[in-house]
Amino acid sequence: MAGPRDRVCLVVDDSRVVRKVARRILESHGFTVEEAEDGSQALESCRRAMPGSVLLDWNMPVMNGIDFLKALREEFGPGNPPVLFCTTENDIDRIEQAITYGAQEFIMKPFDDEILVGKFTQVGLL
Amino acid sequence: MDDLLADFLTETNESLAELDLALVKLERAPDDAQTLSLIFRHVHTIKGTCGFLGLPRLEHIAHAAENVLGRMRDGKLAATPDVISSVLAAVDVIKAIVAGLAASGNEPAGDDTRLAASLNAIAEGRTPAMAAPPPPPIIPTTTATATAPPPAVEAVKPEPLAEAPPPADPAGDSHAGAQTIRVTVDVLEDLMTLVSELVLTRNQLLQLARRQENSGFAVPLQRLSQITSDLQEGVMKTRMQPIGNAWNKLPRLVRDLARDLGKRIELVMHGAETELDRQVLELIKDPLTHMVRNSGDHGLETPAERRAAGKSEGGRITLSACHEGGHVIIEIGDDGRGLPVDKIRAKALARGLASETELAAMSEAQILRFIFRPGFSTAAAITAVSGRGVGLDVVKTNIERIGGAIELRNAAGLGTTFTIKIPLTLAIASALIVEAGGERFAIPQLSVVELVRAGMGGEDGECRVERINNTEVLRLRERLLPLVNLRGLLALGEAAADADTAAHCIVVAQVGSTMLGIAVDAVFDTEEIVVKPVAPILRHVTMFSGNTILGDGSVIMILDPAGIARATGVVGSNEARATPGAVKDSPEAHGPQRTAMLIFRAGGPEPKAVPLGLVARLEHIEKARIELSSGQPVTQYRGRLMPLVPLSGTLDRNAESHPVLVFADEDRGQGRDRCMGLVVDEILDVADEHLAIELSGGQQPGLLGTAVIAGKATGVIDTGYWLQHAAQDWFHGARGGRPRVLVVEDAEFFRSLLVPSLSAAGYAVTAVASATQALALRDAGTAFDAIVSDIEMPELDGLEFVRRVRAGGGWAELPVIALTGHAGLADVAAGRNAGFTDYVQKFERDALLASLRQCLAQSGALAAPVG
């Protein structure tokens, strides 16, 4: 049942630093990481090849996380792939919004190995 | 995680650059939600990433700033200048921390409590209470922001930038995402070098292939050629950056400047997308910043001053850039008060950059150019903003170093505009390929003013070569330019003595403010050349600035017009030195005393002449402009009446216009400048002539004597006589207290010229024919205020004479001015060592008078005459 792209995680964040941190953690746990700098790039990437999961930032230029999430669910239906929504304490009120639009889980920045692995396990990706 | 930190620094620096711009923009347009959201996102990202790297101090400040921005975004806080200032202050602290981080890898220590408290207070809406005492820069930072409480009137109009530069690099970066990679500059430079080599090789191949018909190589070569061109263009593109990158920091700078100075300044930018080589961009960044600062500081007035002048309160600085040929033209303009010409003139005088005489003869544009001289600053008080010891001279030097030029336009009360012309790239230059003596050379197009083909002494008045003995000059539209024959200069085969020089092409080149003609055998084409540095073995030859390889594979040298100008100067003085102290009897012996003579015709077929140095200007004055004033013909000339003296005795009523030699007596200053026009029939020529003059001994009034000039007997005019004739009041007769000047000069001709000149200027002149006679006067106890002495004299030369004067006796302290036909640096040094006070070129009448005034003023003996 496991598809070839199940272990592919698309990291969507406008910060190269954040993408790199996420990549290191995820790769150390056997994930293949693809990157996108904003929602619109992420959507393109999904249209080319759907990843097994998405680690999504909220605040990005061009297309922000929420708009991407909406578009993704609209285009490809609910539930798949699982989306983990990253946010900070300033955006706590956005979490609810994100869950409404179909995010599976949220992760507070800054995350580390333990937090990320915990959340991924929670969603059943690990 | 070291590379993470490096990534963080790059990313954050990009964000910071954008932040400055966006904040200034927001201040002008506080309702711009898009800009606000961009600002918020950048601060948010900085804060967000800090957490990953363990940078608590940065995170703390970014967090506080984000709070303020969040309130603004939610519409709960207005983007007032105070609020923006506090965010800018936070951005500055972030910058400082990031800089510290970059330098040491660790967050620098510091206490941000006050700034954070202030930001939090603003976020909570307690703005007025907290904004008044501005948060001081928390750590010693070089970018301390202007957070002083603003004057009631704020700096900038709420008007969007006319054309904001596109968001800097990061925009392309973040949008393009995976399509963008970072490459070190070194890699690009190496690529550039390799491509240049490839282009040259390609060109060689093409030349070879052209000689072979039906070669199987033709098609693939053509393809190779095309690909190489594309590749070259591509690599060039990687070096190109929009000039907006160099402008990024300016809105913030102008904003802070306006705030500091209590002015209202609007910065308008056009053509930010104009691309140029990054190397050039780097080099002009600082000059541009300096000039914008200057415009804001010196150029623009305060709102009150502007109101008083009937202008809008807000000043405007306009930056524009565009491509023009292979160059980028950048203009920095303001609509301020314009440059104060009078102050500049006064300062030039005070600094000793020019004498009053020289200044009086200068046009306004020439005077304005003094602001480019080292150490010249007109700001009465050194402000904190400009006046940091780096002046426009540095700007000019930097721009000229990259082959650029700077010009200025000034309109009193309306503003000043500086125009900078710089090459698009330094690696590839446009050059004119010329040939001389069978060799080809490249002359940088940037210094080429025009190409002319000159006839030798032909009827073409526009442009011709005049050759007298071994010196050629180029007459170009009434200007006489030094002419260098490239073949002669580089000793390529037969040199200038060749008679076909007449048919030569002449490249008129600009070197700084002077122009010179470079005669070449042939001119080919303008080519884009790849500039290679000169090999070390040739580096001492300053006539070359580099070399390049042409399409046919030949290596050619790139000429440096500035070096050529210098080299010619040296050649000239060497020639002159070749015959020192020669006997003066024969005409040939006067080698060192060549004098430029203006040759004309007046009242008879035989040519007449006057030393060119005595003539201020040549004019053609139309009949209609000549009127009679109590029987004397006069004309309005430069705002005053100028008496006209017809040399032939009467004015030819039938002539439509008259050539006039203008003699100006501008030395006297104080509004008493006078001039006199000597009307002649026809101006014939200028000859640089060895003087062999037979004095007429006063047989004919107004004529000094006859000389053979250009092979013809020519009457040499006694200017003193004619000056006297024109205006009696030029000669004040024996007025008490006139400074007494002793002229020591062996040649009677020169004495005859000097004495009336000096007398006319108000000196009591005594002339002697030898140093021995002069010393006899000294020993007899005769007193003088200054001595003017020739250098080359028989028996006792000028150097020995001045040594004896200095050795003791009544004249030991007198100023002694040397007159010489050639003043090379070495000569001047020798002269000064011997004891001369100053050096003046023979027949530079104005220079001599200026020098006398200065010497007398310094010696304090007596004030120089003022009129």
- The DSSP annotation for B667-709 comes to GG-TT--EEEEEE-SEEEEEEEEE--EEE-TTSSTTEEEEEEE
Say if the Cβ atoms of A18 and B4 lie within 8 Å: no
Identify the CATH class of B732-859. alpha beta
Rounded Cα distance, B306 and B415, in Å: 12
pLDDT given for residue B865 in this prediction? 46
Question: What is the Cα–Cα distance from B148 to B156, expressed in whole angstroms?
Answer: 15
Q: What is the 3-state secondary structure (H, E, C) of B239-258?
A: HEEECHHHHCCHHHHHHHHH
- Determine the pLDDT at residue A92: 66
CB contact under 8 A, A20 and B4: yes
**Position A2 in a domain:** no
At B221, is the secondary structure helix, strand, or coil? helix
Topology agreement, domain B428-577 and domain B587-726: no
Does residue B70 sit at the A interface (CB-CB below 8 Å)? yes
Structure tokens at B487: 């073949």
| Local mean pLDDT, 10-residue blocks, chain B (867 residues) | 78 86 84 85 84 84 87 82 86 88 83 85 66 40 36 38 40 46 80 82 78 79 87 82 86 86 89 85 84 86 89 90 82 89 83 78 82 63 41 76 81 88 74 88 86 63 62 72 82 56 74 77 81 73 80 81 69 29 31 63 80 74 79 75 78 79 58 70 72 57 72 74 58 53 83 77 83 86 86 83 86 85 70 83 76 75 42
Contacts of B781 (CB under 8 A, 6+ apart): B810
Q: What is the pLDDT of residue B155?
A: 38
Query: Phi, psi at residue B818, to the nearest 5°?
Result: -90, 135
CA distance between the termini of chain B: 81
CB atoms B11 and A41 under 8 Å: no
Helix, strand or coil, per DSSP, at residue B609: strand
Cα dist from B842 to B506, B792, B846, whole Å? 29, 12, 11
| B718 phi, psi to nearest 5 deg | -90, 95
* Spatial contact of A45 and B32, defined as CB atoms under 8 Å apart: no
Across the range A72-95, mean pLDDT stands at 81
Subunit contact A109:B51, Cβ cutoff 8 A = yes
Helix (H, G, I), strand (E, B) or coil at B857: helix
Q: What is the arrangement of strands in the sheet containing A8-12, beginning at the earlier edge strand?
A: A32-36, A8-12, A53-56, A83-87, A105-108
Q: Identify the CATH number of the domain in which residue A68 sits.
A: 3.40.50.2300
Does residue A98 lie within any of the structural domains?
A: yes
Q: How many domains does chain A have?
A: 1
Scanning the structure block, which residue is given the tokens 């006899």?
B776
3-state helix, strand, coil in chain B (%, to 5): 40, 25, 35
Asked, for residue A81, whether it belongs to a domain, the answer is yes
- The whole-number pLDDT of residue B471 equals 66
- Report pTM: 0.42
Q: What are the chain A neighbours of B39 within 8 Å (beta carbons)?
A: none
Instruction: Please tell me the distance from the alpha carbon of residue B673 to that of residue B356, in angstroms, as a whole number.
Output: 12
- Determine contact: A59 vs chain B, CB below 8 A: yes
Residue among B269, B265, B245, B246 at smallest CA distance from B255: B265
Are B272 and B320 spatial neighbours (Cβ–Cβ below 8 Å)?
Answer: no
Q: Taking each helix axis as running N to C, give the angle between helix B113-123 and helix B81-104, from 0 to 180 degrees, rounded to the nearest 10.
A: 150
Sheet holding B555-559, edge to edge: B522-530, B428-436, B439-444, B555-559, B544-549
Q: Within its chain, how far is the Cα of B569 from the centroid? A: 20
Contact A59 B41 (CB under 8 A): yes
Q: Is residue A118 in some structural domain?
A: yes
Please give the Cα distance from B693 to B708 (Å, whole number).
Answer: 7
What tokens appear for B167 in the block? 């968001």
Closest-CA residue to B854 (of B508, B487, B359, B382): B359
User: Is residue A1 a part of any domain in this protein?
Assistant: no
pLDDT confidence of residue B577: 28
* pLDDT at residue B587, as a whole number: 32
- What is the layout of strands, in order, in the sheet containing B471-476? B448-453, B505-511, B514-520, B479-485, B471-476, B463-468, B455-456
Residue A37 in contact with partner chain B when CB distance is under 8 A: yes
Which of B8, B38, B177 lies at the smallest CB-CB distance from A36? B177
* Count helices and strands in chain A by DSSP H and E runs: 5, 5
- With contact defined as beta carbons under 8 Å apart, do B158 and B129 qualify? no
Exposure b/e, B229-257, CB count within 10 A at least 16 = b: eebbeebbeebbbbbbbbbbbbbbbbbbb
Contact list in B for residue A41 (CB cut-off 8 A) is 177-178
What's the confidence (pLDDT) of residue A31?
A: 92
A41-54: pLDDT as tens digits: 999 999 999 999 99
In this complex, how many residue pairs, one in chain A and one in chain B, have their CB atoms less than 8 Å apart?
63
Nearest-CA distance B169 → chain A (Å):
14
DSSP 8-state symbol, B445: G
The three-state secondary structure class of B778 is helix
Please give the residue that has the higher pLDDT: either B602 or A11. Answer: A11
Rounded to whole angstroms, the Cα distance separating B136 from B115 reads 8
How far is CA B531 from its chain centroid? 24
Which residues on chain B are in Cβ contact (under 8 Å) with A17?
4, 7-8, 11, 49, 52-53
Report chain A residues whose CB lies below 8 A from the CB of B175: 37-38, 61-62
- pLDDT score at A72: 93
Inside any domain, residue A3: no
Residues 739-758 of B with CB under 8 A from A: none
- Rounded to the nearest 10 degrees, the angle between the axes of helix B2-28 and helix B33-53 is 160
Is the minimum CB–CB distance between B384 and chain A shorter than 8 Å? no
Contact (CB<8Å) A17/B177: no
Residue A17 to residue B8, Cβ atoms within 8 A: yes
CATH class (in words) of the domain with range B2-150: mainly alpha
| Residues of A in Cβ contact (< 8 Å) with B10 | 16
The answer to whether the CB of B784 falls within 8 A of the CB of B811 is yes
Q: Which residues pair with B706 in a beta bridge?
A: B694, B715
A110 cis-preceded (ω within 30 degrees of 0):
yes
- Chain B interface, best mutation among A10, A12, A13, A15, by max B CB count within 10 A: A15
* Residues of A in Cβ contact (< 8 Å) with B42: none
Please give the pLDDT value at position B134.
Answer: 43
Asked: is B428-577 a CATH 2.60.40.1530 domain? The reply is: no
Query: What are the extents of the domains in chain B?
Result: 2-150, 428-577, 587-726, 732-859
Looking at domain B587-726, its CATH architecture is Beta Barrel (2.40)
DSSP per-residue string spanning B454-492: -EES-S-TTEEEEEETTEEEEEETTEEEEEEEHHHHTT-
Which chain A residue has its CA at the smallest distance from B178's CA? A36
With CA atoms as reference, the chain A residue closest to B34 would be: A61
- What backbone phi and psi angles, to 5 degrees, belong to B432? -90, 130
Dist. CA B64–CA B299, nearest whole Å: 38
Domain limits for position A119: 8-123
